[in-house]
Amino acid sequence: MDISMKNARSLFEKKQYSAAFDMYTELVKTEENKKEVWFWVSKSFLFSSQAPMNDKRQELFLDSFSAACKAAETIDEMLTLEHDMLETLNEWKRKTIKEKLKGIKKNPTLEDCNKYIAIFPGFVWLELFIQVRARDCQVVNDYIENNGLEKGEFGNKFPSIAVTNSVTDDEICSTELQAAKDIFLTEQNRLATFDDVSADSASSVCERILRGLFVARSLSTIHSCKESNSDIHCSQLKLKAEITSFLLDAKISVNGAQVSILLDGRLKDYNILQETYTEIQIIDPSFNLPPLPSVIPEKPAVLPNASNSNSEGCYVATAVYGSYDCPEVWTLRRFRDNTLAKSLFGRLFISLYYAVSPMLVKWFGKTEWFKNMWKPILDEKVKALNLNGVENTPYEDRQW
């Protein structure tokens, strides 16, 4: 029997937790030392489980631990089991945190990040349930009855033994901070690989990079070490600021035109950056405030001023109507600046337009067939815009 126990223990140490669980479960039927075997059943079951456990698995785990406690013959044995299982829980907690963060680094999504955050209340409840199950056993009931105690009095007489292997807030913060740094670096490197992209692929590229950056920023301050360790907290805030600044500054080349990867919600991120800098300066007065990025996104291409010659900007419309300053082109310029430029797809369309239209106008702009082909299309668009409230009065292009 000792050989079987050693084999089961060997499987556990090799992290073959499911196989160890199966072997210990078989040993329960024959082994005389039920206390030890049931403890290893519960330990193997815990380490073979993913966090958070569903209700059924959690109950099975607690039942096997209760069986170990029920087999205890003295109060000291019960307290040892309780302490050892709380130590085990913290080992599992440390392992789970690392595994979850590893998974997020491979595929950073806010959904996975939220699932990660959701595991922490489960750890607290499991710790409480372990303590409750440990003390709900025959040896405790006998002691209470023999000594004329109440349940509360027993708890005062035998408080839970402090767990020395507890995962500290500083540990969690440091682990999350490193994961955030790794994801941030990955997305920076990813962006650097795109020298120039087409308008069709730009949206998916930006979305992938932004997803990773938002996860990295979330991870950087999920668990604040504000009170326990100001140095770690300051590092968290500095990384958060660095990621936010990068979000506001980062650009991608789309058909030769530089486009900000973050086009929407920039004011919110700008405010986040300012607030973070303020927090950093409170903790670290020597911190030198870097220049703040612009809250206005980088324009996708060189957009003309009203004073520019009609060889620039709204190329096709200018060629068709003969002037950059006329009611039809004023309408189209307003639509470009006030509608298209406010969305990612709109700005990508502008990028594509300014990448292609100058060459088309250079080749065909003076031909009648080119003007005759485009004029009905533009006339219809201008008419629709005017009916929807877009003015056709003199207009100066927006300065970005």
- pLDDT at residue number 77: 94
Counted residue by residue, the chain has a size of 400
Q: Identify the weakest region by mean pLDDT among 53-67, 118-132, 361-375.
A: 361-375
For residues 33-59, average pLDDT: 92
pLDDT in tens, 297-341: 764 433 333 333 333 457 788 888 887 778 888 888 888 888 888
Q: Identify the weakest region by mean pLDDT among 110-119, 273-282, 288-297, 312-321.
A: 312-321
Report cis status (omega within 30 of 0) of the bond before 358.
no
**DSSP symbol at 197:** B
- pLDDT at residue number 15: 93
Distance between alpha carbon 198 and the CA centroid of its chain, in Å?
27
Residue 160's alpha-carbon distances to 86, 207, 295, in angstroms, are: 10, 49, 54
Q: Residue written as tokens 């998974």?
A: 103
**Residue 365: how many CA atoms within 13 Å on its side-chain side?**
19
**Distance, CA of 119 to CA of 176 (rounded, Å):** 14
* Bridge partners (DSSP) listed for residue 252: 259
Q: Residue written as tokens 């950059």?
A: 324
- Who has greater pLDDT, 109 or 302? 109
What is the average pLDDT score of the chain? 85
133: exposed, middle or buried (Cβ count in 10 Å: 0-12, 13-18, 19+): buried
For residues 64-92, average pLDDT: 94
21: exposed, middle or buried (Cβ count in 10 Å: 0-12, 13-18, 19+): buried
Give helix 34-47 / helix 2-13 axis angle, nearest 10°: 20
For residues 166-185, average pLDDT: 93
% pLDDT > 90, the chain: 44
- pLDDT at residue number 310: 35
Residue 150's alpha-carbon distances to 73, 107, 116, 145, in angstroms, are: 20, 52, 40, 8
For residues 230-253, average pLDDT: 93
For residues 386-399, average pLDDT: 78
For residues 344-365, average pLDDT: 72
- Who has greater pLDDT, 219 or 305? 219
Q: Identify the weakest region by mean pLDDT among 124-128, 134-138, 154-158.
A: 154-158
Residue 112's contacts (CB-CB under 8 Å, 6 or more residues apart) are: 103, 104, 215
pLDDT in tens, 13-25: 999 999 999 999 9
**DSSP symbol at 340:** G
Q: In this structure, what token pair is assigned to residue 47? A: 């380490």
- pLDDT at residue number 398: 66
Q: Identify the weakest region by mean pLDDT among 189-193, 227-231, 384-388.
A: 227-231
Q: In this structure, what token pair is assigned to residue 356? A: 């292609």
For the chain, the first-to-last Cα distance in angstroms comes to: 79
**Residue 146: how many CA atoms within 13 Å on its side-chain side?**
7
400 pLDDT exceeds 70?
Answer: no
Closest of 48, 1, 56, 57 to residue 28, by C-alpha: 1
**Distance, CA of 358 to CA of 352 (rounded, Å):** 11
Are 199 and 349 within 8 A, CB to CB? yes
